[in-house]
A and B are shown apart, each in its own frame.
Chain A
C-alpha cells in the first residue's frame, strides 16, 4: 500500500521508501529525510520575484534581498519535478521538514483502504438563487 504524503511524494509502506508520485522514482528511506534523495539548487530570488521598481535607483524594490534570504529548491533527480521550495536564512541548513513515524503510519493505514487520488475536502457550493446574479 502507498500513502500520498504531499503533492509529489508518497510512502510505499511495503518497501518503506519515499517515492516520486510523478515518475515512480524511489527517493530514499521513509524513515529518513526525503530531501537527501533529491537534487538541490540555490535560487537567486530575482529569478522569481522581479524588482518592479529600478534596483539601480532604489534600496527596496519588491525583490527579496539575496544577502538576507536564500531560496532552496529541491528536484526529483529522475523527472526534474520541483517537490519543495524553502525560504531560509543565508547559510542555514535545509530543514528536515517531514520526519514520519513509519511504524505508526503502517498501523494507521492497516485499517484504511488505499487512496490513489488525493482527497481535497468538501466543496463550497455558492447559492446563486439570491442577490445579484448577473
Chain B
C-alpha cells in the first residue's frame, strides 16, 4: 500500500516538475523531437476508431480523389493569383495534413519538398500553441512560417497553415507554400550567399498566428511588410495563400457533409499507412547491397573549395538507409549548409518525382526510409549556421540519392519509372533586385531556374531544360511578361548552349544560354548562386559522362543597347562569339565562378550564363549515329566535337553517315581503350594519394576513411563525429593579404622600405 502511495506521489511530482518546466520555458527554439523525425506519427485512438468505422476502400479512394482535386484547385489559385515569380511559374504547393500534422496529399504540380517539410511547423503548433492561452488554435486561424530551423528548405519560402475544424473539433490541417523570393536579407531576392550568420538571412518566422477569423491581422502584416523589400508582394501572396487554404477547407467541409469527418480522418490515415506498407514492399524488391557515391561541390559561393557530399546507401530486406558519413562538416560562416529536414525532404523529392511518382505525394513515401547523419555537418547543420543557400548542399544530396538508387533499381523486374542518370542540379538563373522602371523596389529571380536539363534514361536521351529537380511540373516563364516588371532584357534566352552536353549512349538533356543586360534603371543588380564552375556538380551513369562546368561571363564598360542602335551587326547571340571575338571595343571581358554576390549593374553590361545538362547514360560508343547527326542538325553539338566524342564518320556537307567506317572507327577506339587502360591495382598505385590535394582547401573524408574529415587543409584533420565549427576568412581579406604579401616582396626587391613598420 505504502509503495503504491509513494509511486503515485512520485508521478504527481514528475507531472508537477514537467508543468513547471513547460510554464517557465524561456525560449521555444526548434524542437529536436519534432525536427529530427520525418516519419508519420503513431496511429491515434481517434484514427483507430475512424478506421474501424470506415472500411470501404472505394469510399476511401473517392474521398482521396476529392482531396487531391482540392489540392490541384488550390495550386491553380496560387499559380494564377500569386505575385511572386516563383508563384507564377509553379514554385508552390498546397497540401492536406492529418490532425497529427502528417502530410497526406500534396498537389501534383509544384514543389513537393515544401509541403513535405511543413509537417514540422504544424507539429510545433500542435505541441506548443494549442494549449497556450496567449495563442490557441481556433477555427479561422492562420499561421505563417518560413524559418528552416522549424522545418523548411530556406527562409525565402513562406507557408500559410490553417487548421480545419468540425463542430469545434480539429480534424486536419491545410497549408500552402510559395517561393516568395524577397525576405529582407542582406542581399535582395531571399537567398543571400553573403550571409555569415543566421542573422544576415532576413526575416525568420517560427510558426505564429497572422490570421484570425479568416482575416490577416493588419498590425502583424505591417511589421512583416516593413521587414522585406517587396511590401506589396508580401501582402498579396499572404492573401493568395490564405484564400487557397480557405478553398481547401471548403472542399474538406464538403466531404464532412457527404461522408462525415470520421471518414476523412480514416482516409488520411489509410492513405499514409498503406503508402508506408507499399514503400516497404517496393524496397524489399531491390537487391540487398551497398552503393557508394559522392559528388563535388566546388564553391561556398564566396570562394572556391572542394567540398564532399558523400553517400553510402545500404539496403537490407525492407530497410533502406542513407548514410552521409564522410560528408563535409558545416562551414559555419557560409550560407550553403542545410538543416537535416531539408536534406531529407529533398531525398523524398527524388523518390516522389523520379522513382515512385505513382504514389500519393505525401510524407509517408519517405517515412520508412532511414537516415544517418552527423550533427554539425553540411547536411545536418547547427542552428547557428546560415542556410539561406541550402540549395547548394540540398541539391547535391538529391544527386547522390538519385545516382545511388539508380544502381539499386536496374535489376528490379518491376519499375515505376525509367532508370536515369542524375538530373542537372543547380539553379542556373539570375537573382535580381533594385528599383525597377516603375520606381518600385523589387528582389527576386528569373524562373529560368526551372529549366534544368533532364538526366538521360536507360532507353532514350534526357529532355532539354525540362524541369527543376524539385518539381515535376513547373514553368520557365515568359520573358516578355517579366520585362513588364523588371528593368532588364534577356537579349539571348532559351537558345541551347552548343557543346555542353553530357555524352553517353543516351546524352543528357541540355540547358540554354541566358544573356541579360539592365536597361531602365540606375539601381539594379544581379546575383548568381550555383556551384559547378570548376568541377561538374553531378555524375553520369553506367559509362555515361556528367556535363561540363558553367562559368559566369561578364562584359562590362559597354552599353550594348547603344551598340544595338548604332552597330547592331556587332552584337552576337552566343557566349563563345561574344567572349572569343570580343566585338565591343574598350569593353572589359571577364569570367567568374557562379557564386556572384549582389553586383550593381550598369545599363547595357552583359551577364551571361547557361543552364546545365543532365547526366549521360551508357558508353558513348554505343550512341546511335543518327542521334548524333540529329544533335548536329539541331546545333546542340558541333560536327568536329561530335566526331571526337562519338566516333562517327559522316560527310561534312550532307551529314550522311558512313556506317561501315563508323563501325570500324569504334572498334579501333575500343582497342585503343584496352591499350590506354591499366589494371586496377596499377591504376590505384599510380593515381591514388594518401591525402587530399595540398594546395586546394578540401572538406570531408578521404579515400573512404569516414571516421575522420579534413577541414580545409591536410594539416586540419578532425574526428568526423564532432568536427566542430569551421570559419572561413572573408575573400576580400584573403585577397588583401595576398596583395600585401606581393607588395612587400616587390618593396623588398626594389629596396623600398615600408612606409610604417610599427606593430
Whole-angstrom CA separation of A53 from B592 in the bound complex: 13
When C-beta atoms are compared, the residue in chain B nearest to A101 turns out to be: B288
- Residues facing B in A78-93 (CB within 8 A) are 79-93
Contact (Cβ within 8 A) B641 A50: yes
Q: Mark B469-497, 1 if CB is under 8 A from A, else 0.
A: 00000000000000000000000000001
- Judged by a CB distance under 8 angstroms, whether A131 is at the interface is no
Contact of A70 among B539, B618, B687, B703 (CB under 8 A): B687
- Judged by a CB distance under 8 angstroms, whether A6 is at the interface is yes
Contact (Cβ within 8 A) B535 A68: yes
Contact (Cβ within 8 A) A39 B534: no
- Residues facing A in B658-701 (CB within 8 A) are 669-674, 676-681, 683-684, 687-689, 691-693, 696, 698
Contact (Cβ within 8 A) A69 B296: yes
Q: How far is the CB of A68 from chain B (nearest CB, A)?
A: 5
- Judged by a CB distance under 8 angstroms, whether A120 is at the interface is yes
Q: Mark B277-298, 1 if CB is under 8 A from A, else 0.
A: 0000000000111111111101
Q: How far is the CB of A97 from chain B (nearest CB, A)?
A: 5
Whole-angstrom CA separation of A57 from B588 in the bound complex: 12
Main secondary structure of the interface of A (DSSP, over half): loop
Q: How far is the CB of A93 from chain B (nearest CB, A)?
A: 5
- Residues facing B in A52-73 (CB within 8 A) are 52-54, 57-65, 67-73
When C-beta atoms are compared, the residue in chain A nearest to B552 turns out to be: A60
- Judged by a CB distance under 8 angstroms, whether B620 is at the interface is yes
Q: List chain B residues, Cβ under 8 A from A72.
A: 683, 687
- Judged by a CB distance under 8 angstroms, whether B544 is at the interface is yes
Q: How far is the CB of B640 from chain A (nearest CB, A)?
A: 10
Contact (Cβ within 8 A) B543 A82: yes
Contact of A60 among B534, B617, B678, B703 (CB under 8 A): B534
Q: List chain B residues, Cβ under 8 A from A96.
A: 292, 704
Q: List chain A residues, Cβ under 8 A from B289.
A: 98-101, 105
Which of B213-221, B334-342, B498-506, B515-523 contacts the other chain? B498-506
Q: List chain A residues, Cβ under 8 A from B589.
A: 57-58
Contact (Cβ within 8 A) A39 B411: no
- Residues facing A in B553-580 (CB within 8 A) are 553, 575-576, 579-580
- Judged by a CB distance under 8 angstroms, whether B410 is at the interface is yes
Contact (Cβ within 8 A) B579 A53: yes
Contact (Cβ within 8 A) B407 A6: yes
Q: How far is the CB of B29 from chain A (nearest CB, A)?
A: 37
Q: List chain B residues, Cβ under 8 A from A7.
A: 410, 458, 505, 541-543, 617-619
When C-beta atoms are compared, the residue in chain A nearest to B577 turns out to be: A53
Number of residues on chain B facing chain A (CB within 8 A): 97
Contact (Cβ within 8 A) B414 A60: no
Q: List chain A residues, Cβ under 8 A from B547.
A: 49
Using known A-B contacts A62-B550, A90-B693, determine if residue A6 contacts B591 with beta carbons closer than 8 Å: no
- Judged by a CB distance under 8 angstroms, whether B417 is at the interface is yes
Q: List chain B residues, Cβ under 8 A from A70.
A: 687
- Judged by a CB distance under 8 angstroms, whether B383 is at the interface is no
- Judged by a CB distance under 8 angstroms, whether B713 is at the interface is no
Contact (Cβ within 8 A) B619 A82: yes
Whole-angstrom CA separation of A67 from B700 in the bound complex: 18
Contact (Cβ within 8 A) A119 B415: yes
Q: List chain A residues, Cβ under 8 A from B687.
A: 42, 70, 72, 91
Using known A-B contacts A36-B680, A48-B548, A70-B687, determine if residue A104 contacts B503 with beta carbons closer than 8 Å: no
Using known A-B contacts A93-B688, A97-B407, A98-B407, determine if residue A53 contacts B670 with beta carbons closer than 8 Å: no
Whole-angstrom CA separation of A3 from B286 in the bound complex: 12
Contact (Cβ within 8 A) B316 A64: no
Q: List the 3 closest A-B pairs by CB distance, nearest first.
A: A39-B677, A80-B670, A49-B548
21 pairs across A/B with beta carbons < 8 Å? A4-B410, A5-B287, A8-B618, A37-B680, A41-B683, A52-B575, A54-B580, A60-B552, A72-B683, A74-B677, A83-B619, A87-B535, A87-B540, A94-B688, A95-B294, A98-B289, A98-B291, A101-B289, A119-B415, A121-B417, A121-B419
Interface residues of B (CB under 8 A from A): 287-296, 298, 304, 306, 308, 316, 407, 410-419, 458-459, 497-500, 503, 505, 533-536, 539-553, 575-576, 579-580, 589-593, 610, 617-622, 641, 644-645, 669-674, 676-681, 683-684, 687-689, 691-693, 696, 698, 702-704
Q: Name 19 extra pairs, CB < 8 A, besides A7-B542, A64-B534, A81-B619.
A: A6-B410, A40-B679, A40-B680, A49-B500, A50-B548, A53-B551, A53-B575, A59-B551, A62-B550, A64-B535, A64-B549, A69-B296, A75-B674, A77-B679, A80-B671, A86-B539, A94-B688, A97-B292, A121-B416
Interface residues of A (CB under 8 A from B): 3-8, 35-42, 45, 47-50, 52-54, 57-65, 67-75, 77, 79-101, 104-105, 108, 112, 115, 118-122
